[in-house]
Amino acid sequence: MRLKPLASLSAILLLSGCSLLQQPPREVEIITKPVKLDIVQPTMPRPLDLKEPKWYVVSDRKIPKEDRTYLDKFIEEIKKKHGGDVVFVAMTVADYELMAYNTQEIKRYVSQLGEVVVYYRNVTTNDKPAETEVE
């Protein structure tokens, strides 16, 4: 009979024993620190290396004091230069203007794309600001 009260008392002490000796909870301290992210930067594209083509504008007007046209003279010079082979690639003035417009659009796009790359590089690094090499 003595076991019942002893078992009850030990069960009560076991279940509540730790709570009687507990200290009040500590206050949680929250510290915010900036964390520097190491973002791998892409290498900047190499500058454009454009080659300048030669353009010939030839008319069928007569050359003053000669018995031939500018076109005849041009064909003779090209035949001498290239061993007799002559090939013409032609376009209208309107098509040439479209080509010039398209070239300007490509330059604008490349320039703006370079500015975006430089912006993100400057935002994500603490180094000196990068600069675009595109004109």
Under the banding of pLDDT at 50, 70 and 90, the label for residue 129 is low
With CA atoms as reference, report the closest residue to 56 among 79, 78, 81. Answer: 78
Span 2-27, average pLDDT:
73
Tell me the CA distances in angstroms from 38 to 28, 35, 41, 125, one per residue in order: 30, 10, 9, 8
pLDDT at 20 (0 to 100)? 60
Q: What is the mean pLDDT of the chain?
A: 81
Domain definitions of the chain by residue range: 36-135
The more confident residue out of 5 and 81 is 81
* pTM of the predicted structure, to 2 decimals: 0.48
Collect all residues with Cβ–Cβ distance below 8 Å to 91 and sequence separation of at least 6.
99
Under the banding of pLDDT at 50, 70 and 90, the label for residue 59 is confident
